[in-house]
Amino acid sequence: MDLEALKATAQAMVAPGKGILAIDESHGTCTKRFAALGLECDAENRRAYRGLLVAAPGAEAAISGMILFDETLRQSNDEGVSFPKLLEDRGIIPGIKVDTGAKDLALHPGEKVTEGLDGLRERLAEYYELGARFAKWRAVITIGDELPSQACLMANAHALARYAALCQEAGLVPMVEPEILLEGPHSIEACYGTSAETWEILFKELAAQGVALEGLILKTSMVLPGSTCDDQADLLTIAEMTVNCLKANVPAEVAGVVFLSGGQTAEDSTIRLNEMNKIGGMPWPLSFSYGRGIQAPALQVWARDHQAIGEAQNVLVHRAKMNGLAAKGEYDISLEV
């Protein structure tokens, strides 16, 4: 393991004013999003749409890396230039989603465990050769009656830690993503408690596997009330509770913390990130790794008119730059157009 190379990549991923764009939706998720806009989710449409994201002029000002899907990592533009090469040429680090999805956890109704460890060492070696320099693995945690269970938290943390060790062995920075789902009536206090427990167990498992935290990125949820909770917290409460929970449970050695947008509106995810960075005093950079939070406006433009590539790219870059400012605590609503 070349720890210095891993540290350099991880630090570049959370460079000041920059974050990660996730364009790694599975075919199933992509089909749902395309269908909602009347689009067919075939290979060529996926290539065309993701190609405009990869090639967006000026995106490198606020986007340090892009998480690709296996199919996307292997695709090229109309001139035959591979997507990873297009990113590299502009200083954007190619990444790759490597888990194979969340499956039902045996004997634990309503809970999931993420799979994909079988054959992962060989896949990571291939992804490195194809140009990837970081990877992502997502686990999903549900808050509910008697949920999450210890079994769920431990199974997912163990899988994340084994994945992370294999990544570092292969020369890729692991992005570990324990997503606490927003759906449900749970309070922000319940989310705080679940977040704290999830991170505590995760970092114990990472330590047990010998993972170097200086070469690792935590991608996680903000501390939020459930989407159907009657008591929706205000901006400052969300920011303070998220920052406090992170400080209490995430080691200072971690290279960076990035948030997923996870069901929030594009604007909410930006404003909340900005408020956290205004608080300051974090031991690690606090940035973004948004999918829908950056992509959604661009997809809507492209869905209306496949020829409006420039307009879609401009919308994407604007959203990325707004989040880049939020990553420095310098965003203001007046900057929206």
Instruction: List, by residue number, the catalytic residues.
Output: 177, 219
The DSSP line for 25-77 is --HHHHHHHHHTTT----HHHHHHHHHHHHT-TTGGGTEEEEEE-HHHHT-B-
Sequence letter at residue 59? A
Instruction: Identify the H or E element spanning 97.
Output: strand 93-97
Q: Count the alpha carbons within 13 Å of 159 in the hemisphere toward its beta carbon.
A: 28
Which tokens in the block code for residue 238?
Answer: 């969300």
- Alpha-carbon Rg for the chain, nearest whole angstrom, is 19
Chain position carrying tokens 């690690």: 284
Tally of residues, the chain: 337
Nearest one of 227, 217, 135 to 182, comparing CA atoms = 227
For residue 119, how many C-alpha atoms fall within 13 Å in the half-sphere facing its CB?
A: 8
Identify whether the C-beta of residue 160 lies closer than 8 Å to the C-beta of residue 120: no
